[in-house]
Amino acid sequence: VADTLLRGRTLSFLRWPESIDDHAAYAYEEDGGLLLRDGKIVAAGPYAEVERQAGEGTKRIDHRPHLILPGFIDAHVHFPQMQVIASYGAELLDWLNTYTFPEETKFANAQHGRRIARLFLDEMVRHGTTTVAAYCSVHKASAEAFFEESHARDMLNIAGKVMMDRNAPDGLLDTPQSGYDDTRALIGEWHGRGRQHVAITPRFAITSSPEQMEMAGTLAREFPDLHVQTHLSENHAEIAYTCELYPQAKDYTDIYDRYGLLGQRTLLGHCIHLSEREADALSDSGSVAVFCPTSNLFLGSGLFDYQRFRRREKPLRIATATDVGGGTNYSMLRTMDEGYKVIALNGEKLNPFQSFWQLTRGNAEALSVADKVGTLEQGTDADIVVLDSAATPGMRLRMETVGTLAEELFLLQTLGDDRAVREVYVAGRPAKSDLGAIA
């Protein structure tokens, strides 16, 4: 396969930008180059320097004047909920019972799972997202469908069969033993195959019996390098019911703690109504709080306190995510726009460099995959998004008055969506243009 040389305005973060003037937090090249070989970035920097390393037969793609960034990362999303988005009028528990659980029962049919997995990853790529941490349905076949589709595209994805053995329709329940066995089988079949990562995925404490939580904890002990993903402290009725189901626990967070489910690789969706004790427990264990702004607004769940979590004496690791189908958009640009507004309601601001750090390197660090994705550094995987800041008439007009990179990024976040995503590279290969008619 020929090498590929990309040319454009490259932007990659080195660390969290403390302020809008913290230029040392990122590398930006007005005329940048990236040399891609065998799915990796083998050279990055000023175009003239990178170009010198390009051999004969190198395919050259000129993306000027567009921005070239690491592909976006979505740290919490439900692939079986594509046909749940836009379900009207309910808060979390009613939304699950009325819309979401009935929809997920359809994934007992493996063919349905394969169709939705394909359309889901198409939609992710179309929106510039190259890595997700995904929930599948309870059915092992849904996770197999997801991994087959992900592996065929050579995407770095994290996913797990949801474990749930109570408080849901019969067609959506496993047992402590089958949840354990199916997860183990998926690990054997898929974990570490190509770029696939299996996650231990107890849905949340309401739908897992203590016996199942015990089994999830056993898996986490047996496979310490696996991610654990679940939901925490999303909605007041959910929290009250959860604490009724686990009366011995100090609070919601303590349930997961007791079963050995907190840790550096644990991703906790929502974390909206945490007490200081709970936030301390997440910080002490290195667990990640996942901010899902469109979902939290749509379901009326509450306002995630991003800046409080960052600035507290014991800070939290934070990721951001769509949470489709509770979330209302596939785009991480739309998601960060809503995130900005949620943070504004808490009387704070997130500057555009911080937003784009979060979408790329920040989420990669939160998922412990920053050595592979989330940056444009030499030696990392070539998962890349190309962004057009003048993709629509309104964006083009606003761009006329934009003078700085920070302003341009904020415009992209505020007005951008899939239309601003000109191209996506997955493991060095064009992926969005490859979707053809769908785009």
Among residues 6 and 168, whose Cβ is nearest to ligand GUN? Answer: 168
Quote the least distance from Cβ 212 to ligand GUN, whole Å. 14
Q: Using CB under 6 A as the criterion, what x/- string covers residues 200-219 for binding ligand GUN?
A: ---xx---------------
Residues 56-85 that bind ligand GUN (CB under 6 A): 78
The strand pairing partners of 34, in sequence order, are 6, 44
Query: Is residue 174 part of the contact set for ligand GUN (CB under 6 A)?
Result: no
Among residues 10 and 253, whose Cβ is nearest to ligand GUN? Answer: 253
**Computed from CA positions of residues 178, 184, 186, 188, in that sequence, does the dihedral angle turn out positive or negative?**
negative
Quote the least distance from Cβ 78 to ligand GUN, whole Å. 5
**Contacts by 260-265, CB closer than 8 A, 24 or more apart:** 260/217, 260/220, 260/221, 261/200, 261/202, 261/213, 261/216, 261/217, 261/220, 261/228, 261/230, 262/287, 263/220, 263/224, 263/228, 263/287, 264/368, 265/224, 265/225, 265/226, 265/227, 265/228, 265/368
Looking at 3, 144, 174, 234, which residue binds ligand GUN (CB under 6 A)? 234
State the Cα–Cα distance between residues 35 and 56, nearest whole angstrom. 13
Among residues 51 and 91, whose Cβ is nearest to Fe ion? Answer: 91
Tell me the number of residues near ligand GUN by CB under 6 A.
11
Quote the least distance from Cβ 106 to Fe ion, whole Å. 18
Half-sphere exposure of 307 toward its Cβ, with a 13 Å CA cutoff? Answer: 16
Choices 20-28, 92-100, 141-149, 218-226; region in contact with ligand GUN by CB under 6 A: 92-100
The strand pairing partners of 421, in sequence order, are 387
Binding site for Fe ion (CB under 5 A): 269, 323
Query: Is residue 150 part of the contact set for ligand GUN (CB under 6 A)?
Result: no
Structure tokens at 204: 């949340």
CB within 8 Å of 177: residues ≥ 6 apart: 215
The strand pairing partners of 13, in sequence order, are 26
Half-sphere exposure of 178 toward its Cβ, with a 13 Å CA cutoff? Answer: 10
Among residues 204 and 306, whose Cβ is nearest to ligand GUN? Answer: 204
Among residues 180 and 204, whose Cβ is nearest to ligand GUN? Answer: 204
Quote the least distance from Cβ 132 to ligand GUN, whole Å. 14
Q: Residues interacting with ligand GUN, by CB under 6 A? A: 78, 92, 96, 100, 203-204, 231, 234, 295, 323, 326
